[in-house]
Chain A
Amino acid sequence: MKKDKRYAIVLDTRRCIDCKACTVACKTENNVPLPEDTCRNWVTEEPLRGSYPNLGQSFAPSQCNQCENPPCNSVCPTSATGITEGGIVTVNPDKCIGCKYCMLACPYDARYYNEETGAIDKCTFCIQRLAVGRIPACVETCPTKVRTFGDLNDPCSEVSILLAKNRHRVLKPELGTKPFLFYLI
């Protein structure tokens, strides 16, 4: 990986049908334990809008926001959390003591305690796939192509173009975490 990359995912949630393909793909790719609450990524059914028969509903896929200022990083007492090239926030399971400070610090609730490894775990944009030139499993598998992955420092990348062309937002911008998960509006 070159130093000057800055990875991001852009999500077009209008296309999301809550089919959970991303969640299962992630679980099989990253050996994430099975329970629904134990996951690196997830899709939330947003509350129903209106009342019968005038209804509307959206679905919200989410995961670690790979923040530029990740609050999880500063609270870690063992320096298990780190930031790799490309801006990916990682956890070193050998250093992690499972204290869960980072889980509480994360405003996006993106971390979980992995019973099997005894360490905190989270999305890494499938760093192992990036290393061999592949895209994250959730992005690749998504049936309706809600997700686009790429390098924001490359102005010609699909993510850069999407963000240049469309209005978008990040989650909880007021916290100053500078997330790199972008939602098209």
Chain B
Amino acid sequence: MSLINKKLSRRRFLGMSSCTLATAVVGSQVKVLHALAKNGDVTSPQRGKDDDVFTSCGMCVNKCGVIARVRNGVIEKLDPNPNFIKSRSMLCARGNAGVGVVYDPDRLKYPLIRTGKRGEGKFRRASWEEALDLVAKKMNEVAEKYTRAGVMFASTEGTYQDHFFMQLAECFGSPNNVRHPTLCLSSNIQGFMATFGTNPTPDVLNADYIIMSGANRSEALITPDSIDMLKGDGGRRKLIYLDPRFTRTAAKADQWYPIKAGTDLAFVLAMINVIINEGLYNRSFVRENCVGFDKLVPHVCNYTPEWAERECEIPAADIRRIAREFALAAPRAIYYHGRRSSFMANDTQLRRGIAILNAIIGNWDVKGGMVPNSRIKIGRHDYLAPWYDDVPDRLDAGSVAYLSENDGAWVPFRDRVLAGKPYPVKGMMVYKQNMLASVPDRARSLKMMDQMDFICTIDITMSDTAWYSDVVLPEATYLERQDPLESIGGILPVVVWRQPCIKAMFESKPNIWIMKEIAKRLGSDVAEQFQFTIEEVIQTQVKGQPQILKALQTRGVYYEKTDPTYGRTLGKRLRTKSGKVEIYSEKYAKKGLDPLPVYEAPKTTPAGKYRLLVGRHAFFTHGTTSNNPYLNAIMPENTLWLNTEEARRRGLRNGMRVTVRSEVGAQTLKLEVTDKIRPDCVYMAHGFGVLSKGLRTVYGKGGCDAALIGSSYDKISGNAALHETFVQIERA
């Protein structure tokens, strides 16, 4: 088969037809980018005209090392930082596309104040002075009327400047900050913390046997796991992949099983059953390091491979074989626990199951197993938040079994805002969190925003959430600001930061500046806590460790070791109540939760409907990158995947436009008929179907998953359950 057949036909068509309109329009965008970079809007560069600046990527959660090549005051290219051990000297498509963020014609350029109706998109340019005055005035008004808890703070995580936003929330006096973990990985953290007292990192590089359940590491890139996954040495490593979809990870796996969605725990429990019944578990590890194994034995006796086969549609013989191979490969075997999670409302129990399965084969804190993170200690920028007497408890307090006070639980939080109970929340401060795209059930999120007296969003582009705000404040991008140090934990921990590669364009400002200016206007109690500069924050962080700053300046990254240390926790107390691996969780039992993971079969798919699956791509991060011109060119819209047989049965054809309808909304997008999905599921990528006309590249393209997904969530961790929604599809 020719390697380039598909390419050939496309290229030739374009070549022969000279130029199409689309080519002309989109192609010229590069010119626009460069013109933007060179016109009068760009202030002269802060550093020398030509410079190579060490910084860290801001395109996703990974924070890989980057060298920005600055020429004539313009960032010409971002290259991987070869010193950066976490990202193994690479930069993915998103990282490379970072130049498109800085020179994006759709960037927010100056403060905006809404003039039309909410969502109408009518804004006027305002001065920083006016916009900040208005924000502070409105925050105080809401606080006066509804107490300080009446203003909620929604924040992203990992911009390195979100600390200052959290500080503003605390100093202002609102307990209501909601961050992204319950839209991502809080069930995972909860499940592993309850078992191991920490959330470990799988040592993918050295593992001989890896099982992944939906953790699609070829597309949902996580450094270094995605890279290490493929560094198998000549067939020694085995990768088993379970996913209702045939993803690019499936293409790289030794075996792919199109598991019935939401039944992963059945597979895990059956593996535990086999490993226990056949005596394949690590007896000494279990005896010395675990509690509750005796209760696990009877708990799994009915979870046989034959039972699991009926649930998850993976042959019992295969489950048996995989369980044996897994135990045999131990301790260099990992049941990879994923990151973006929460498929189902019992997700914490799935993560507990995975943790327990890993524990009983004794792959704890050893080469090729689950390794507890280490972290490089850096200093902390401290402050004393003022105390306000009349502020009530968090709005979502008690809504889930284990609520993170730092992060909240998005879905129940929104429900309570809408109910106005136990108290009203009428002001909304948003820092770079696009909750209209990320929180399930967009219609409800819109309703929540509708009932707000005031909404302010700080972002770099006009996200959907910004589009529905009253005041929009432009932040400097990650390549234009000095960020504090960030200590990233892992098997090989690093310290990173971001340096300004060019001076912030237009009127954009770093978040620290915005926070200080708002604080100044909120009154002296708050302002007092914001009397610091970014340099002072960094000096506090590196106090007594000048080598950190030196390394960051000369190499762009600081690390203390390049070889992992294993076994640090062996023979020591873990951070659980018993000090051991808690197979049986007394803590859960006391709360009335299942102390051992109990399987709950997913709801049966109603006739004529499909389970909606969502997922990611190697060239997109959530919803923040689909408007990036470089990345959008790779995938301009999302499609709805439908199994070939199923499409034939329904008389639906590839490329046809279909309306997808769930209980909470409907979206229209193109159908992609493919063998790469189970017949009972449909799939769409996240990040499309935007409401904001300020995102001109992606506007009008594809459908929005958040508009379809219902509000189901995990009652233990509060994590939104993204795969509990059924949809019907019809020709549009």
A residues near B (Cβ < 8 Å) are 15, 17-21, 23-25, 27-29, 31-38, 42, 44-48, 51-53, 55-60, 62, 100, 103-104, 108-109, 112-113, 115-116, 137, 140-145, 171-172, 183
B80 touching A141 by the CB < 8 A rule?
Answer: yes
The 8 closest A-B pairs by CB, nearest first: A19-B618, A17-B218, A33-B27, A24-B96, A143-B90, A52-B675, A60-B3, A57-B251
Q: How far is the CA of A86 from the CA of B22 in the complex (A)?
A: 37
Contact partner, A34, options B2, B3, B7, B630, Cβ 8 Å:
B630
A55 touching B246 by the CB < 8 A rule?
Answer: yes
Residue of A whose beta carbon sits closest to that of B31: A116
Nearest CB in chain B: distance from A36 CB, A = 5
Q: In the complex where A17-B248, A51-B675 touch, is A143 in contact with B11 (Cβ < 8 A)?
A: no
Nearest CB in chain A: distance from B379 CB, A = 33
Asked if B644 lies at the interface with its beta carbon under 8 angstroms from chain A, I say yes
Q: How far is the CA of A57 from the CA of B219 in the complex (A)?
A: 14
Residue of B whose beta carbon sits closest to that of A27: B630
Q: In the complex where A20-B619, A60-B4, A137-B77 touch, is A116 in contact with B30 (Cβ < 8 A)?
A: yes
Nearest CB in chain B: distance from A140 CB, A = 6
Nearest CB in chain B: distance from A75 CB, A = 14
A52 touching B645 by the CB < 8 A rule?
Answer: yes
Contact partner, A24, options B90, B630, B644, Cβ 8 Å:
B630
Q: Which of B12-20, B166-174, B279-287 contacts A (4 or more CB under 8 A)?
A: B12-20
Q: In the complex where A21-B90, A24-B630 touch, is A59 in contact with B248 (Cβ < 8 A)?
A: yes
A113 touching B93 by the CB < 8 A rule?
Answer: no
What are some 20 contacts across the A-B interface (CB < 8 A)? A17-B218, A17-B230, A18-B618, A21-B90, A24-B94, A24-B619, A28-B97, A28-B630, A33-B27, A34-B26, A34-B630, A38-B23, A46-B3, A48-B674, A55-B246, A56-B251, A60-B3, A60-B4, A113-B14, A137-B79
B92 touching A21 by the CB < 8 A rule?
Answer: yes
A28 touching B4 by the CB < 8 A rule?
Answer: no
Nearest CB in chain A: distance from B359 CB, A = 30
B618 touching A144 by the CB < 8 A rule?
Answer: no
B residues near A (Cβ < 8 Å) are 1-8, 10-12, 14-15, 18-19, 22-24, 26-31, 34, 76-80, 88-97, 99, 218-219, 221, 223, 226-227, 230-231, 246, 248-252, 256-258, 618-619, 629-631, 633-634, 643-645, 674-676, 678-679
Nearest CB in chain B: distance from A121 CB, A = 12
Contact partner, B15, options A20, A25, A59, A113, Cβ 8 Å:
A113
| In the complex, chain A residues whose CB is within 8 Å of the CB of B674 | 48
B248 touching A48 by the CB < 8 A rule?
Answer: no
B221 touching A19 by the CB < 8 A rule?
Answer: yes
Q: How far is the CA of A144 from the CA of B4 in the complex (A)?
A: 21
| In the complex, chain A residues whose CB is within 8 Å of the CB of B250 | 55
Residue of B whose beta carbon sits closest to that of A55: B246
| In the complex, chain A residues whose CB is within 8 Å of the CB of B94 | 24
Contact partner, A143, options B22, B227, B257, B675, Cβ 8 Å:
B227
A57 touching B92 by the CB < 8 A rule?
Answer: no
Nearest CB in chain B: distance from A18 CB, A = 6
Residue of B whose beta carbon sits closest to that of A104: B15
| In the complex, chain A residues whose CB is within 8 Å of the CB of B645 | 52
Contact partner, B618, options A20, A31, A38, A104, Cβ 8 Å:
A20
| In the complex, chain A residues whose CB is within 8 Å of the CB of B92 | 19, 21, 141, 143
B251 touching A42 by the CB < 8 A rule?
Answer: no
Q: How far is the CA of A28 from the CA of B648 in the complex (A)?
A: 42
Nearest CB in chain A: distance from B312 CB, A = 13
| In the complex, chain B residues whose CB is within 8 Å of the CB of A29 | 77
Q: How far is the CA of A19 from the CA of B2 in the complex (A)?
A: 20
A38 touching B643 by the CB < 8 A rule?
Answer: no
Q: How far is the CA of A35 from the CA of B678 in the complex (A)?
A: 32
A20 touching B230 by the CB < 8 A rule?
Answer: no
| In the complex, chain B residues whose CB is within 8 Å of the CB of A17 | 218-219, 226, 230, 248-249, 251-252, 618
B93 touching A20 by the CB < 8 A rule?
Answer: yes
Q: In the complex where A20-B619, A24-B630 touch, is A42 in contact with B7 (Cβ < 8 A)?
A: yes
A108 touching B4 by the CB < 8 A rule?
Answer: yes
Further contacts, 8 of them, CB under 8 A, given A21-B93, A33-B30, A143-B91: A20-B93, A24-B94, A28-B97, A28-B99, A35-B27, A47-B6, A48-B246, A140-B79
Q: How far is the CA of A33 from the CA of B619 in the complex (A)?
A: 18
| In the complex, chain B residues whose CB is within 8 Å of the CB of A15 | 230
Contact partner, A53, options B15, B91, B258, Cβ 8 Å:
B258
Contact partner, A171, options B4, B223, B249, Cβ 8 Å:
B4
| In the complex, chain B residues whose CB is within 8 Å of the CB of A60 | 3-4
B619 touching A55 by the CB < 8 A rule?
Answer: no
A144 touching B227 by the CB < 8 A rule?
Answer: yes
Nearest CB in chain B: distance from A56 CB, A = 7
| In the complex, chain A residues whose CB is within 8 Å of the CB of B231 | 144
Q: How far is the CA of A18 from the CA of B256 in the complex (A)?
A: 18
A57 touching B3 by the CB < 8 A rule?
Answer: no
Residue of A whose beta carbon sits closest to that of B20: A35
Contact partner, B230, options A36, A100, A144, Cβ 8 Å:
A144
Nearest CB in chain B: distance from A100 CB, A = 6
Q: How far is the CA of A62 from the CA of B226 in the complex (A)?
A: 22
B248 touching A113 by the CB < 8 A rule?
Answer: no
| In the complex, chain B residues whose CB is within 8 Å of the CB of A53 | 256-258
| In the complex, chain A residues whose CB is within 8 Å of the CB of B629 | 34
A58 touching B251 by the CB < 8 A rule?
Answer: yes
| In the complex, chain B residues whose CB is within 8 Å of the CB of A32 | 30
A141 touching B675 by the CB < 8 A rule?
Answer: no
| In the complex, chain A residues whose CB is within 8 Å of the CB of B34 | 31
A143 touching B3 by the CB < 8 A rule?
Answer: no
Q: How far is the CA of A103 from the CA of B95 in the complex (A)?
A: 31
B218 touching A183 by the CB < 8 A rule?
Answer: no
